[in-house]
Chains A and B, each alone.
Chain A
Amino acid sequence: MKSAVVLLPGLNRDRDMIAALTKISGKPPVTVWQTDTEIPDVDLIAIPGGFSFGDYLRCGAIAARMPVMRAVAEKAAKGVAVVGVCNGFQILVEAGLLPGALMRNTSLKFVCRQVKLEVTNANTMFTRRYQPGQIIRSPVAHHDGNYFADAETLARLEGEGQVVFRYAEGTNPNGSINDIAGIISEQGNVLGLMPHPENLIEAAHGGSDGRALFEGALGLAA
């Protein structure tokens, strides 16, 4: 199964994402640069974490306006799976591919730790290898992960099962509304989440709870 990783100046988790996708899918992902206007035919497009454009203006704001994101939007409209992790999630909301916004953590502190996530919707292409309600572990590392959406948007997200991951057992690290850690698009093929599942995919990482997300998205057997 083929995958692509979007590269932008200031991202720093791109190598982690490339390593994870290489290990899980058996072949290295193609990489696409910010100025690329076309993305090859792949099954999954991943936007990694980091600090694209130094987080200037707003996290992900400038990256979201780069030519490559128009190409990502075109692929997403055709139903290709897209996952944005951390800064990748911020870029997806700034690009309008996911609703809401990610704001400064209520603690005002950068948080770098492991949290617990509840799989609140296991009926998506990304979460189908998990059980509904399953609690998984995942690292987080961010300063602006405080998810916000207006009441109407929030009601729609909750009502339509678009909240896919929630911080569990009091581990909300950022004040995110309704403990939201990850959401999916209405069409079900664009996922954004603040935690880093790509950093927990093999025993050497201390666990492999994140692996099933990529296996599901790539349609691989567990």
Chain B
Amino acid sequence: MIKARITVTLKNGVLDPQGKAIEHALSGLGFGGVGAVRQGKVFDVELAESDKAKAEADLKAMCDKLLANTVIENYSVAIT
């Protein structure tokens, strides 16, 4: 069994209205030093696989095919 964490974030230059709203809310709570906030997604995936290289290739394929929209998002895969 391999466990992995996939992180999906918006590409630079893509506007993130939700991140902006969170940024304003944090400022409103008195966190004065908050710069830009960008919202992303995290997926924890369990794979019935023992070969790490094969797992990593599969996880990247999952990102390309479904988990990330590569028009607007980047992803990274970390096997834990």
State the interface size on chain B (CB cutoff 8 A): 12
**Chain A residues engaging chain B, CB cutoff 8 angstroms:** 57-58, 61-62, 65, 93-94, 99-101, 103-108, 146, 148-150, 175
Q: Is B15 in contact with chain A by the CB < 8 A criterion?
A: yes
Partner of A146, one of B13, B17, B67, B69: B17
Alpha-carbon distance between A103 and B66 when the two chains are bound, in angstroms: 16
Alpha-carbon distance between A146 and B72 when the two chains are bound, in angstroms: 12
Smallest CB gap from B65: residue in A: A65
Alpha-carbon distance between A101 and B70 when the two chains are bound, in angstroms: 10
Alpha-carbon distance between A58 and B17 when the two chains are bound, in angstroms: 15
Inter-subunit contact A106/B17 (CB<8 Å): yes
Secondary structure at the A interface, as helix, strand, loop or mixed, is: loop
Chain A residues whose C-beta falls within 8 Å of the C-beta of B27 in the assembled complex: none
List, sorted by A's number, 21 A–B pairs whose CB atoms are closer than 8 Å.
A57-B66, A57-B67, A61-B66, A61-B69, A62-B66, A65-B65, A65-B66, A94-B69, A99-B71, A100-B71, A101-B71, A101-B72, A103-B72, A104-B18, A106-B15, A107-B17, A146-B15, A148-B72, A149-B71, A150-B13, A175-B17
Chain B residues whose C-beta falls within 8 Å of the C-beta of A101 in the assembled complex: 69, 71-72
